[in-house]
Chain A
Amino acid sequence: MSDSLAGRMPGPPRTAPSYAGQGSSANLADILERVLDKGIVIAGDIQINLLDIELLTIKLRLLVASVDKAKEMGIDWWEHDPSLSSRAQPSATAPAAPDPALSEENERLRAEIARLRAAAELPAGQEADAAARPEPAEQETGRE
């Protein structure tokens, strides 16, 4: 526990071996998504229970309190959680998108924008990423 986050952040991310161990060297993002988001939820005596909405609220507060740092660590689940954010969208890798018709239309429109951009050679922040994996923020200007 002596290796503080602050001490590590300026350096490059530790490159875990392909089959990372689960021990003390485990990736913090991997640990947090398990100990905060998974595990047995049971009402303790301390009413910080991290239960349901309460959990989400805490997560939101603690992460939004230091969004930049959380993002550096790869934690951004509040952005995807419909109950927490208007920017939420179904995860592209989820097995079943909740609203396939809308998602498909969005995908189609974004692909179209990407194509038009490509054809016009418009400079965009990270158009390579955006074309393959559209992010709402990247597309705002194109949609207007």
Chain B
Amino acid sequence: MSEAEMEYVYAVGPGGLALDRTAPVAGVDGGTVRTVGGARGLTALVSAVPADRFAEEHLAPQLEDLERLEAIARAHHAVVDAAFATATVLPMRLATVYRDQTRVAAMLDEQHAYFEELLRTLDGHVELGLKVYAEPRAAAPAEEPEPAGASPGRAYLQRRRAERRRAQDTYGAARDTAEQAAQVASALASARAVHRPQQGEWSAGRGENVANEAYLVPRQHVDRFRTELGALASDLPGVTIEVTGPWAPYSFAGGVAS
């Protein structure tokens, strides 16, 4: 470990957490992902990062650059995801950086009780994302019936009125679906977290995101979760349900360690 490097921590898992050498995953900036063990039976997944890039004064500007942020976020997630494929792990928030691996091991020991408790709670569970979208245009009839004999102005107004009504109907249906979905999902889940609806380009293809939630689901219920939620919106024009995941339990490992 050279002086010019620091340790970026991706996740904490149980002792003996092993990396899958058959499918190595690169860390932030292509760093090699390693394990660091604590004295009390916990393991951290880390990779060395250049100290100059990750020093306080240089990290913040990187996070303000969305392309750089994307690269770091995707690398972070890829490591968490690879580890989660083999064991329950606690994902750390982005850019948790220590001076060296001795400091990482010390952190594992200091937070031992907290991490153990969380690992017990989350064991055997995955996080599934649930998003509900409203897309009034998708609910529109393929061929707008032209009112016979109406003036162009009147026809326009009638069309606008129909559009508005359809939008209200679609949003109403989406909200109802979101409520039903929350009930169905909650019945299968151990915990629920509400995220903010996503807006803009990334949801544009599906319409407006009216509900964005995460559920902590026992592994044995994952298929049922998908089937039951997929069935909810299947015959509603303009309303779609998206289930994402399984994710490592990001939304349920949260909280600030003491």
Contact = CB atoms under 8 A, between A and B. Distances in A.
A71 B81 contact: no
Contacts of B167: 128-129, 131-132
B210 A92 contact: yes
Contacts of A36: 73, 93-94
B93 A35 contact: yes
A91 B254 contact: no
A129 B137 CA distance: 11
Contacts of A76: 196, 199-200
A69 to B, nearest CB: 6
B188 interface: no
Contacts of B163: 128
Contact of A44 (B67, B98, B206, B212): B98
Interface in A1-30: 1, 4-6, 9, 12-13, 15-16, 18-20, 22-24, 26-30
A91 B197 contact: yes
Secondary structure dominating the interface of A: loop
A52 B256 contact: yes
A21 to B, nearest CB: 8
Interface residues of B, number: 90
A5 B66 contact: yes
A14 B165 CA distance: 29
B194 interface: yes
Interface string B25-59: 00000000000000000000000000000111001
B196 A77 contact: yes
A93 B9 contact: no
A65 B156 CA distance: 41
A40 B95 contact: no
A29 B205 CA distance: 14
Nearest to B82: A23
21 contacts: A1-B74, A4-B67, A24-B78, A28-B73, A31-B73, A32-B73, A34-B247, A34-B251, A35-B73, A38-B193, A41-B255, A42-B96, A42-B107, A48-B60, A50-B96, A62-B63, A70-B66, A74-B203, A91-B194, A131-B164, A132-B172
Given A39-B93, A40-B91, A71-B201, 14 more contacts: A22-B246, A28-B74, A32-B73, A33-B195, A40-B253, A42-B111, A44-B95, A45-B98, A52-B256, A74-B199, A76-B196, A91-B194, A91-B196, A93-B178
Interface of B: 6, 9, 12, 54-56, 59-60, 63-67, 69-71, 73-78, 80-81, 90-99, 103, 107, 111, 118, 129, 134, 136, 157, 160-161, 163-164, 166-168, 170-172, 178, 193-206, 208-213, 226, 230, 240-247, 250-251, 253-257
